[in-house]
A and B are shown apart, each in its own frame.
Chain A
Amino acid sequence: EPEVTQTPSHQVTQMGQEVILRCVPISNHLYFYWYRQILGQKVEFLVSFYNNEISEKSEIFDDQFSVERPDGSNFTLKIRSTKLEDSAMYFCASTWDRGSQPQHFGDGTRLSIL
């Protein structure tokens, strides 16, 4: 069964540094998402992306965050200047239809900010 893949599995970064998290969605999917899960807490929506533009974003997704689909296969989340509170598990998800199909999640990237 096709999977969403995320790299790296664990990223350790100094506060203030830029970080890029990478995702390869399932190949025929059209809608892409990033979520964040702070340890022990709920999954929080960050952003949805369709047709090369952001469809919706949450309050968490401020100017420090950006997303890109640079080459038709990768879907990236960039945090420009990381803060301690950005430490969390970041999940990428994809689906081929906006709301009527389940979202397929990757294994996540654990981001640790020192």
Chain B
Amino acid sequence: GQQVMQIPQYQHVQEGEDFTTYCNSSTTLSNIQWYKQRPGGHPVFLIQLVKSGEVKKQKRLTFQFGEAKKNSSLHITATQTTDVGTYFCAGFSGNKLTFGGGTRVLVKP
């Protein structure tokens, strides 16, 4: 079955620094979605990418969808303490979302 993998599993970032988390799917995706889950919370939708090579920005967050629609990345610039949480990519195919393992982000002030 479809598998979605994310690296790194953990990201310890100094406040103000940049980092990137990567997502890879074993199959071509219709679209890819990114969610953020705060500790003790539920996944909250951030963005969806549909087109091959698509790049979208949300303030300090930049999302990219690969040309083959099998990989994606999330780049955060100037990390803030509010960025703490787990970022999941999720690939949509068929009738389901398959989540990656997530990147747990910890920010050092």
Residues of A at under 8 Å CB distance from B? Answer: 33, 35, 41-45, 48, 50, 55-56, 58-59, 91, 98-100, 102-108
Q: B102 to chain A: closest CB distance in Å?
A: 6
**Cβ–Cβ contact A106 & B42, under 8 A:** yes
Task: Provide a sorted-by-A list of 20 A–B residue pairs whose CB atoms are within 8 angstroms.
Answer: A35-B99, A41-B101, A42-B101, A43-B35, A43-B88, A43-B90, A45-B99, A50-B95, A56-B94, A58-B96, A99-B30, A99-B31, A99-B92, A100-B31, A102-B48, A103-B33, A103-B97, A106-B42, A107-B42, A108-B42
Q: Is B43 interfacial (CB 8 A cutoff)?
A: yes
Please report the C-alpha to C-alpha distance between residue A59 and residue B96 in the assembled complex, in whole angstroms. Answer: 13
Please report the C-alpha to C-alpha distance between residue A102 and residue B46 in the assembled complex, in whole angstroms. Answer: 9
Write the chain B residue with the least CB distance to A45. Answer: B96
For the complex, would chain A's binding face be called helix, strand, loop or mixed by DSSP majority? loop
Choice from A43, A56, A59, A104 contacting B99 with Cβ under 8 Å: A43
Chain A residues within an 8 Å CB radius of B42:
91, 105-108
**Cβ–Cβ contact B45 & A56, under 8 A:** no
Q: A55-B95, A99-B30 are in contact. Are A91 and B100 (CB under 8 A)?
A: no
